[in-house]
């Protein structure tokens, strides 16, 4: 194989694909990325056997097609430290030569045929949605997963597919986040009860691989895995095993709730200020809504107290509830600061529901007084 690559473009693809590789593995070959140059262009592949990625590499001029394994640590350093605009890669089966105008490196070469197969996207029926919508699904759910739980299903994002939309759901048992996105079905659609749970890490890699893409994203699922494709990347992931909670049962009937309209930026600032005095042992913040304002009070044994007031549109009876400020802030951080949302509250013992007008819903369980500290 002999090719000439645009260093910056290869570096960008290399850094994204390298995020899939395991930091430690008994299979040393997984510490490489495979570059395959042929009729499909230049494709960079990485895998840890649970998640795999195929990245299209732009700016590659081919003199002789073929495949080569590139050791991640050394190749990444070469791409970062080199000042050459173009790099020539030449592999003769024994070693790989990387040559620029002012630099030259030789790296040992393993057999690319021994690299695990990284699945491609071959489905004829799939869901399609805009790239920004898919990234919104990821950003607004992954923070609510729980990778430390003994319940493996909580360590991923549930996806529900319908004829005209995709719904993503994540929970750690203390809060739940869900985001809907319009989608269209390409090919023959057959309704299915399958609700795959995608590992949190795979969702994080998807967000990174699809960053900046405005093009449509295709998504398809099989019995044990999911495939997501854009024009630049295809990501494969095995699914999380286990039963996901019946998440719709978590959303309370809000007929007797009071909806309070709030602006993201000012409310997030107030939450962050009130949380300054909290700690792991004393983590609750009291939220009291009354008389045109919300008062946030934080309590910490040795750390003192905080009291923050924020004017809001509210003129009904006083309602107070104690919440973990971290969970409130997580919801607010994925929204634009000037955006508005509704906070539905009933009493101090009932779950709070936050929602936007673009299909985003978030449930937070309240803390008891003794949990507040």
Q: For residue range 154-196, what is the model confidence (pLDDT) as tens digits?
A: 999 999 999 899 999 999 999 999 999 999 999 987 766 678 9
How far apart are alpha carbons 69 and 329 in whole angstroms?
43
Q: For residue range 318-328, what is the model confidence (pLDDT) as tens digits?
A: 999 999 999 99
> Mean pLDDT throughout 223-249?
92
Cβ–Cβ < 8 Å for 216, 129: yes
Cβ–Cβ < 8 Å for 89, 3: yes
Q: Which of 62-66, 222-226, 263-267 shows the highest mean pLDDT?
A: 263-267
Domain residue spans of the chain: 2-114, 126-248, 252-372
Determine what percent of the chain is predicted with pLDDT higher than 90.
78
Q: For residue range 4-63, what is the model confidence (pLDDT) as tens digits?
A: 999 999 999 999 999 998 877 778 999 999 999 998 899 999 999 999 999 999 999 999
Classified as helix, coil or strand, 170 is strand
How far apart are alpha carbons 55 and 229 in whole angstroms?
10
Exposure of 66 in the CB half-sphere (CA atoms within 13 A): 16
Determine what percent of the chain is predicted with pLDDT higher than 70.
97
62 CB-contact burial (10 Å; exposed 0-12 / middle 13-18 / buried 19+): middle
- Region of 312 (left: φ > 0; alpha: ψ -120 to 50; beta: rest) is beta
**How many residues appear in the chain?**
373
- Region of 330 (left: φ > 0; alpha: ψ -120 to 50; beta: rest) is alpha
Q: Does domain 252-372 have CATH number 2.20.25.90?
A: no
- The reported pLDDT for the residue numbered 212 is 73
Q: Does domain 2-114 have CATH number 3.10.150.10?
A: yes
- The reported pLDDT for the residue numbered 369 is 58
Cβ–Cβ < 8 Å for 344, 352: yes
Classified as helix, coil or strand, 316 is coil
Least confident window among 249-253, 267-271, 349-353: 249-253
Rounded to the nearest integer, the mean pLDDT of the chain is 92
Q: For residue range 126-152, what is the model confidence (pLDDT) as tens digits?
A: 999 999 999 999 999 999 999 777 677
Same fold, 2-114 and 126-248: yes
Cβ–Cβ < 8 Å for 271, 329: yes
In terms of Cα–Cα distance, which of 230, 247, 254 is closest to 355? 254
Give bridge partners of residue 215 from the DSSP assignment: none
> Mean pLDDT throughout 255-262?
95
* Helix-helix angle 200-209:7-18, to 10 degrees: 170
Residue 373 clears pLDDT 70, i.e. is over it? no
Residue 345 clears pLDDT 90, i.e. is over it? yes
Q: Does domain 126-248 have CATH number 3.10.150.10?
A: yes
């Amino acid at each position: 194989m002999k090719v000439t690559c645009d260093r910056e473009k290869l570096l960008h693809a290399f850094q994204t694909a390298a995020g899939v590789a395991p930091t430690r593995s008994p299979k040393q070959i997984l510490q490489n990325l495979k570059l395959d140059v042929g009729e499909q262009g230049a494709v960079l592949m990485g895998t840890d056997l649970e998640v795999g990625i195929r990245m299209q590499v732009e700016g590659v001029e081919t003199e002789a097609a073929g495949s080569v394994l590139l050791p991640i640590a050394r190749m990444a350093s070469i791409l970062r430290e080199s000042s050459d605009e173009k790099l020539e890669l030449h592999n003769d089966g024994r070693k790989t030569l990387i040559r620029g105008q002012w630099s030259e490196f030789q790296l040992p070469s393993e057999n690319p045929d021994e690299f695990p197969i990284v699945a491609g996207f071959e489905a004829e029926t799939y869901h399609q949605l805009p790239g920004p919508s898919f990234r919104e699904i990821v950003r607004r759910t992954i923070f609510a997963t729980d990778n430390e739980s003994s319940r493996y299903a909580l360590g991923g994002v549930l996806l529900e597919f319908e004829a005209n939309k995709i719904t993503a759901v994540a929970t750690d048992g203390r809060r739940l986040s869900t985001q809907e996105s319009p989608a269209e079905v390409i090919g023959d659609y057959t309704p299915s009860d399958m609700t795959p749970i995608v590992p949190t890490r795979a969702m994080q890699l998807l967000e990174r691989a699809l960053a900046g893409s405005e093009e449509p994203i295709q998504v398809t699922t099989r019995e044990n895995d999911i495939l997501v494709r854009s024009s630049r990347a295809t990501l494969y992931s095995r699914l999380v095993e286990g039963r996901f909670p019946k998440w719709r049962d978590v959303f309370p009937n809000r007929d007797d709730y009071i909806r309070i309209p709030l602006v993201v930026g000012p409310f997030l600032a107030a939450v962050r200020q009130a949380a300054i005095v909290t700690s792991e042992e004393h983590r609750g913040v009291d939220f009291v809504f009354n008389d045109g304002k919300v008062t946030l009070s934080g309590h910490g044994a040795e750390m003192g107290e905080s009291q923050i007031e924020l004017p809001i549109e509210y003129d009904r009876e006083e309602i107070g509830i104690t919440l973990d400020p971290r969970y409130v802030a997580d919801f607010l951080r994925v929204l634009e600061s000037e955006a508005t949302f509704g906070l539905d509250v009933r009493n101090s013992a009932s779950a709070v529901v936050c929602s936007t007008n673009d299909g985003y819903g978030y449930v937070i369980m309240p803390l008891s007084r003794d949990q507040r500290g």
